[in-house]
Structure 1
Amino acid sequence: MFYALERFRATFFGDIAFRSNTTDQSLGLWAYVLYLAVVRHSMEIREATSSDTDAIRSIARDSLSSTYTTFLAEETIDAAIEQWYGDSLTEELEDDRALFLVVERDGEVAGFSQSEVVGQQSKTGHLLWLHIHPDHRGDATGVRLLVRTREALLKQGADAVRCFVLADNEGGNEFYRAHGFERAGQREVEIGSETFTENVYVESGLEGDDEWGAIDEVSVDGETVYVSYGEAARGTRSPFYTAYKSADRHDRYAWFCGNCDSIDNAMDAMGRIECNSCGNRRKATRWDASYL
């Protein structure tokens, strides 16, 4: 499938580049637009609503079953689903203290995060669970949801963010360590009638003007870039993130569109960015003297 799509792209890129006939160029361009529609997978992250309850339960079950069965019995997983995502889920979605975000890939819910802001004088955001459907793991869906959840918690007034993951979940622990967090302690959590240990993660210490260190290695159009999710610019559809040529973040390379995973974009002298693949845009960041 991938080979066929690459041949498809190469063929019509050739049409655009080498054919002089205007009609042929138009056909090639439209074919490439069709190619983008097939290859690019749109992503939307939004707050969950009551219509998402079934999807949340289903993804939680699939996520727990694929990750935790080595140390959680099936009846324990059933009890966890009923305990956290049972009949009270609709009420919890409407609770101002709770934050549920869902991530959609191509119009279908592919994962969700469950968080809360605690405290009065000093508020802390608690990321309690981040579940991604097994079919969407490894394609940056989880990283993007982590980034947007962190942003939402800070926007709600949290001074810091803590993440919780069962100590026996090796993949989950590695996920947080790889994306700017370090273990700060442990706590006990009850699942069904059993008690388990959770590791508590906090953001790694930052020095000077350093940004939050969530770096992801991404392959885009045959190139490998390193996307810094801590360096974001708000877009009309999704944020733009700074992309580097190396993991040490020394050489800025491009803007990575959070809506369609493309680096094909343009920025003008006023700081406006527009993604050439999906139309995501960032407004100007400074005044144009010609309008004063």
Structure 2
Amino acid sequence: MEIREPTPAAADRIREVVDSSLTASFRLSPAQIDGLVDDQFADEAVTDKREDEETLLQVAETSSEIEDTTITGFVDGRLEDGWGEIRWLFVDGRLEDGWGEIRWLFVDPEHRGKGIGTELYETAIETLRDRGAEHICVTVLEANTEGHDFVERFGLEHDGDRRVEIADESVVNSVYTEPDVGATRPDSTGVDTADEEFPETKRIGGQLTTTDDGTTAYIARDEAESGTAAPFFATYEDVTHTERHGFYCANCGSLAVSMNNMDRLECNDCGNSHAERSEESYDDSYL
């Protein structure tokens, strides 16, 4: 296996790896996957990343007796700062007291189980530190059903969420950092979701969950319906969001939400009810 920077001709293969990985391991619709690939990994986007001195792009290239050398994994990282108004501080060509952020890491599903993801991650972290990163953070889409456990294996801990816009859709990125980091992490790539209150919840495998008579319900923060007091969110019985459970009331944390034949929602515990979606219904940060 070789870890190297991609050539201009690698863009097509990078998109293939990203697309197949998203399809296999992310809780996203085909339309969302197409939008994300086009938004983040189109030819122009890959070229811009390659030419940006603060961006790190590396691919894993493997070969065997059966097939020619091929790209089997891809990592996208960036040097960020935590200095507020001071954008960058370089000393002898190195970023001082900055952050190295891993934003995307994909491994072709057909080549998993060979340590490719681990090699990509460790090499990317080493490269970012060589370039001056003092601290490390990793962002994982909440919809990534396997990425949260992968990151936690390296000793990183959940340190909040960001709501980001990708391909004109609002999605949630979970942020992981090294334990007991005293520095302020960069926030230039999203909006902190700390003001989105979800009572009676806890995290399991990076996903927001609640319980109903001992049954765990997974809350889909990207499937919201308006409410008079707070939004309702669709819930599922499984981590991949295939078996529907019902709705969660963000006003009181209840799963006792009923729906009439006109698809109107109402929380039986607090009275929060479904209303037509409008600018006045609730803060857009919930969407």
Distance 1:203 1:146 in 2: 14
Q: Tell me: CA distance 1:204–1:139, structure 2 relative to 1, closer, same or farther (3 Å).
A: farther
Deviations 1:210-257 (A, max 9, x none): xxxxxxxxxxxxxxxxxxxxxxxxxxxxxxxxxxxxxxxxxxxxxxxx
Secondary structure of the 1:139 match is: coil
2:30 equivalent in structure 1: 74
Q: Which amino acid aligns with 2:101?
A: H
Distance 1:138 1:183 in 2: 25
- Work out whether residues 79 and 99 of structure 2, in 8 Å CA contact, stay in contact via their aligned partners in 1: yes
Q: Which amino acid aligns with 2:40?
A: W
In the alignment, does 2:73 pair up with 1:116? Answer: no
- Find 1:174's aligned residue among 134, 144, 149: 149
Deviations 1:178-223 (A, max 9, x none): 12211111101222232111110112359xxxxxxxxxxxxxxxxx
Alignment of 1:82-101 (within 5 A): 82-88=38-44, 89-101=46-58
- Work out whether residues 76 and 191 of structure 1, in 8 Å CA contact, stay in contact via their aligned partners in 2: no
Deviations 1:5-44 (A, max 9, x none): xxxxxxxxxxxxxxxxxxxxxxxxxxxxxxxxxxxxxx10
- Find 2:20's aligned residue among 62, 85, 89: 62
Distance 2:34 2:143 in 1: 18
1:163 equivalent in structure 2: 138
Distance 1:167 1:73 in 2: 14
Secondary structure of the 1:145 match is: helix
- Work out whether residues 61 and 77 of structure 1, in 8 Å CA contact, stay in contact via their aligned partners in 2: yes
Q: Tell me: CA distance 1:135–1:81, structure 2 relative to 1, closer, same or farther (3 Å).
A: same
Secondary structure of the 1:170 match is: coil
Q: Which has the larger radius of gyration?
A: 1
Gaps of 5+ in 1: 1-42, 207-292
Distance 2:30 2:145 in 1: 19
Distance 2:135 2:42 in 1: 29
Secondary structure of the 1:56 match is: helix
Distance 1:197 1:139 in 2: 29
Q: Over aligned residues, Cα RMSD in angstroms?
A: 1.5
CA drift of 1:137 comes to 1.5
Q: Which amino acid aligns with 2:10?
A: D
- Work out whether residues 19 and 33 of structure 2, in 8 Å CA contact, stay in contact via their aligned partners in 1: yes
- Work out whether residues 102 and 110 of structure 1, in 8 Å CA contact, stay in contact via their aligned partners in 2: yes
In the alignment, does 2:161 pair up with 1:186? Answer: yes
Distance 2:49 2:153 in 1: 30
Distance 2:57 2:8 in 1: 11
Gaps of 5+ in 2: 64-68, 82-87, 90-96, 182-287
Under a length normalisation based on structure 1, what TM-score does the superposition of the two structures give? Answer: 0.53
Q: Which amino acid aligns with 2:31?
A: E
Distance 2:4 2:59 in 1: 6
- Work out whether residues 11 and 43 of structure 2, in 8 Å CA contact, stay in contact via their aligned partners in 1: no
2:196 equivalent in structure 1: none
Distance 1:181 1:170 in 2: 17
Q: How many residues align?
A: 162
2:270 equivalent in structure 1: none
CA drift of 1:165 comes to 0.3
Distance 2:5 2:136 in 1: 18
Under a length normalisation based on structure 2, what TM-score does the superposition of the two structures give? Answer: 0.54
Deviations 1:64-115 (A, max 9, x none): 11112xx311111111111111131223212212110000111211001001
Q: Percent identity?
A: 32
- Find 1:128's aligned residue among 79, 100, 103: 103
Distance 1:74 1:189 in 2: 19
Distance 2:122 2:164 in 1: 25
- Work out whether residues 125 and 161 of structure 1, in 8 Å CA contact, stay in contact via their aligned partners in 2: yes
CA drift of 1:154 comes to 0.4
